[in-house]
Amino acid sequence: MNNFQEKKRRRSKTPRVCNNEENMEKLVHKEIEKRRRQEMASLYASLRSLLPLEFIQGKRSTSDQVNGAVNYIDYLQRNIKDINSKRDDLVLLSGRSFRSSNEQEWNEISNHVVIRPCLVGIEIVLSVLQTPFSSILQVLREHGLYVLGCISSGVNDRLIHTLQAEVNDLALIDLADLKDTLTLMK
């Protein structure tokens, strides 16, 4: 036998003398700790059940599960920001405004334009009253943009067009001029 096993055997044979109060404290502490570990295991299981499969990736350690939850929360927060941004753009484009009557009249005759980068080039969201779609396409072509797709819908007597356009060289496109041209179109 090695020294470690021998010492262990000797320790177990020697009786420990502890008073009853000490034993009770240890038992109470042991029971409290056992309940705490059970509750933590239950909470981790609950957390894991709330995560989508792509954030779980099989049986993992508790710290990996918490890290997955943090990543999922970050993902949700980014989505919320994106959705809020799109909502704000749609509210702006719908022509609804709480401004003075002169500004309200201007809103009713003016186009609203939002231009932002996207994976293929740029995305253009515009709200128009009477501008023909062919005129919009002509302006985009003149600015060197190639429309890849468009979604149109009607809201409050206005048409909202969301276009994705491919851009060969974004540095050659004057986005401010494009926005002004689209805004002032009739």
Whether the predicted pLDDT of 74 surpasses 50: yes
* pTM, to two decimals: 0.43
Rounded to 10 degrees, the C-alpha dihedral 11/15/19/24 comes to: 60
* Domain spans of the chain, in order of start: 109-184
pLDDT band at 55 (very low <50, low <70, confident <90, very high): confident
Whether the predicted pLDDT of 100 surpasses 50: no
% of the chain at pLDDT higher than 70? 81
According to the model, what pLDDT value does residue 106 have? 41
Average pLDDT, the chain: 79
Whether the predicted pLDDT of 168 surpasses 80: no
58 backbone φψ class: left, alpha, beta (φ>0; ψ -120 to 50) = left
Quote the tokens at residue 122. 């740029």
**Kind plus residue range of the DSSP H or E element containing 7:** helix 3-13
pLDDT, greater one: 23 or 55: 23
Give buried/exposed letters for 103-137 (b at 16+ CB in 10 A, else e).
eeeebeebbbbbbeeeeebbbbbbbbeebeeeebb
- Single out the residue of 182, 173, 120 nearest to residue 143, CA to CA: 173
Q: What's the gap between Cα 49 and its chain centre? A: 20
- The residue assigned the tokens 């702006």 is 92
Whether the predicted pLDDT of 81 surpasses 90: no
pLDDT, greater one: 7 or 46: 46
Region 165-169 average pLDDT: 82
pLDDT band at 157 (very low <50, low <70, confident <90, very high): confident
According to the model, what pLDDT value does residue 17 have? 53
Spatial separation of the C-alpha atoms in residues 141 and 157, rounded to whole Å: 27
pLDDT tens across 102-134, in order? 444 444 557 888 888 887 788 999 888 877 888
- CATH architecture classification, 109-184: 2-Layer Sandwich (3.30)
Spatial separation of the C-alpha atoms in residues 171 and 173, rounded to whole Å: 6
